[in-house]
Amino acid sequence: MLRVPISEAQPGMRLAMPILHPRSELVLLTHGFELDSAHIDRLRDLHVGEVWIDYPGTELIGRFVSPVIVEQRGRLVRQVAEVFEITHRGAHARLDYGSYRTALGDLVGSLVSEPLAAAYITEMAGSASCELRHASEVCLISLLLGLKLEGYLESQRKRLQPRHARNVIALGLGAMLHDVGKTRLPAEIRRRYDETRDQADRAWRKHVLIGHKMVTGSIEPAAAGIILHHHQRFDGSGFPGVPGHDGVHAGLAGEAIHVFARIVSVANHFDRLRRRGDGSLAPRVRVLREMILSPRRSWFDPVVLEALLHVVPAYAPGSVVTLNTGERAVVMDWKPDRPCRPLVHVVEPSGPPRRAHRPRPEIDLVERPDFEIAMDDGSPVAECNFEPPQPGAIGRFAA
């Protein structure tokens, strides 16, 4: 199976995964459905970006995707949509936090039982709403990070019993609601930020205070704290400011920031960098390189930032890439310590055929330094490939 942009979909391709409606997240087409021209045109009209198709010789990729998780992700997106719809109604609207916890608990259970499939789930989002897409992606990445860092959660939440310290339901709830305060900002402030991305805008910064006030007393303090502090930075340059001994208001720094907020900070920044203003996606490898190797890495907890490479592959399994030889290949597997040198299979030079032939033998880019990935989903990425820093503290904490 491999992931094909809708622009390259052809009649006769058979779906390897269900397709969800980009607005309702309900199942449009089921696994095994054979595409025809009419359905392809309809999917394009709905702005469905990609489809998963059967492809001989790539069965290994099936470990990285799960229909159950995809459908549970759809349920989560629908609940995020409900949050925004209710909060837009006004200050007296009530949210059913219990149902959100149930949905998150079901999703966490599936992520635990299918950890390989969990690594690819963030590529699945198809919601047409920018708000919904961002909230659901941040929630999913945060959950994956929390599950990967169970030992770190125990070390950072020492007052709790280990099983409570590792519980990530509050992390998921706070991540899902992290921008809920924006629903109460005037439309002009939201529009201005969308155009400028100016985080120094004082009016826009109020969304963390507004959101925190909206949920305080209704959800766990750890979840509410995410909403207040997800823009804090590990080096102390974030917001909101808190008064210091000298009376100066500055952001929290280091472990003074709750570990859940540190996790959501990484997930939030990754997704914001990835989603361009025109709605297109920047290549994962480009965003990971910028976060891990640029000076902005000082903004993030280094343990959480290192864990990002373990849950977000630079080149996701199922992606069709172009090698520096000009050959097209499908990514089969990946290694967090060598994120830009995955295992690939070369496919037909003209792209995925309607009824594919057996692909050529696999190439492990770790063992073949003369090969590298040059294009990903039509974007040049040769200059984005990187070797990560030497593993740090995550070895002691990663699950």
Cis peptide before 243 (omega within 30 of 0): no
Q: Is the pLDDT of residue 281 over 70?
A: yes
Q: Best-predicted range by mean pLDDT among 83-92, 180-189, 365-374?
A: 365-374
Q: What pLDDT does 354 receive?
A: 44
Amino acid at 11: P
Tell the residue number behind the tokens 């985080």, with chain if given.
Answer: 199
**Cα angle value 143/252/295 (rounded, 5°):** 75
How much is the average pLDDT of 202-221?
92
The pTM of this model reads: 0.86
First to last CA, the chain: 28
H or E segment to which residue 156 belongs: helix 150-156
Question: What architecture does CATH give domain 2-54?
Answer: Alpha-Beta Complex (3.90)
Q: Is the pLDDT of residue 138 over 80?
A: yes
Amino acid at 307: A
For CATH 3.90.105.10, the residue range(s) in the chain are 2-54
Contacts 24+ apart (CB under 8 A), 34-39: 35/9, 35/10, 35/11, 36/11, 36/12, 37/11
25: its two tokens? 């997240």
pLDDT tier for residue 112 given thresholds of 50, 70 and 90: confident
Tell me the three state secondary structure of residue 369: coil
Q: Which strands make up the sheet holding 362-364, listed edge to edge?
A: 362-364, 343-346, 328-333, 320-323, 373-376, 379-380
Rounded Cα distance, 85 and 358, in Å: 48
Q: Which CATH superfamily is domain 67-311 in?
A: Hypothetical protein af1432 (1.10.3210.10)
H runs (alpha helix) in 202-258: 202-205, 207-215, 221-229
Q: Is the pLDDT of residue 351 over 70?
A: no
248: its two tokens? 């100066």
Average pLDDT, the chain: 84
Q: What pLDDT does 353 receive?
A: 45
For CATH 1.10.3210.10, the residue range(s) in the chain are 67-311
Rounded Cα distance, 208 and 76, in Å: 22
Helix, strand, coil % (nearest 5) of the chain? 45, 10, 40
Q: What pLDDT does 118 receive?
A: 63
Instruction: For residue 152, give the nearest of 288, 305, 337 by alpha carbon.
Output: 305
Distances (CA, A) of 300 to 204, 255, 306: 22, 11, 10
How much is the average pLDDT of 27-41?
91
Percent of the chain exceeding pLDDT 90 equals 48
